[in-house]
Amino acid sequence: MAWGQGFDHNVKKIKEGDIAPNWSLRSESGSFEFLKNWTVKNNRKLRKPSIQPDRHVVLFTFFAAWCPPCVEQLQPLEEVFQKYKNEKIKFFIIDETDHTGNAAVTKSLLADNKINIPYLEDNWKVSRRYGIKGIPTIFIVDKYGIIQNIRVGFSKEDQDLAAELSDIIDQLLLEK
């Protein structure tokens, strides 16, 4: 899909403070990852509490291999991922690269850049539901499914992305 084509501009604009719309996306292993595995509204149970009882902060970025700012953003995201990989936070790259039989493009790009963040294939379904107008777009969702931060775009001239994300994550991990 060419950038900007096929977007439903009537989708409700998702904003900080909203409950994150749930998603279920295929991982590179072929299994499905659910947002509800990690975070849900207060007074609700996680999708599989007997297997995974702890709520997590969730950071995900909408990404495409053909998007230069998305690729530039990978290293600072990997830095944050490595810093918090043993904490109650999950990271995902939601991949919008057109996969019509060619998921190897993203897998190769991530491997070449030594990126260990799990990636999920979307093909614009979840991004439409989230009202994405530009990529990369990062969402940080707290342990109760509430969107705490949305960051659109990236350039090398941006402030220190790793430090900015770390500040937000540190606050959210302290919350009960």
What pLDDT, on a 0 to 100 scale, did the predictor assign at position 100? 56
What pLDDT, on a 0 to 100 scale, did the predictor assign at position 50? 77
H helix or E strand, kind and range, residue 1:
none
What pLDDT, on a 0 to 100 scale, did the predictor assign at position 80? 97
What pLDDT, on a 0 to 100 scale, did the predictor assign at position 101? 55
What pLDDT, on a 0 to 100 scale, did the predictor assign at position 44? 84
List the chain residues with pLDDT less than 50. 1-10
What pLDDT, on a 0 to 100 scale, did the predictor assign at position 99? 58
The distance of Cα 155 from the centroid of its chain, to the nearest Å, equals 18
**Exposed (0-12), middle (13-18) or buried (19+): which is 89, by Cβ within 10 Å?**
buried
Residue 122 and residue 128: Cα distance in Å, rounded? 10
* Residues contacting 169, CB < 8 A, separation 6+: 57, 59, 80, 84, 87, 89, 140
* pLDDT tens digits along 133-143: 889 999 999 99
What pLDDT, on a 0 to 100 scale, did the predictor assign at position 23? 96
Residue 64 and residue 22: Cα distance in Å, rounded? 21
Tell me the DSSP string of 35-65.
GGGT---TT---SSTTT--S--EEEEEEE-T
What pLDDT, on a 0 to 100 scale, did the predictor assign at position 85? 95
Tell me the fold of 24-174. Glutaredoxin (3.40.30)
What pLDDT, on a 0 to 100 scale, did the predictor assign at position 12? 61
* pLDDT tens digits along 106-133: 889 999 999 999 999 997 889 999 999 8
Q: What φ, ψ does residue 84 adopt, rounded to 5°?
A: -115, 10
* In the chain, domain spans: 24-174
H helix or E strand, kind and range, residue 139:
strand 137-141
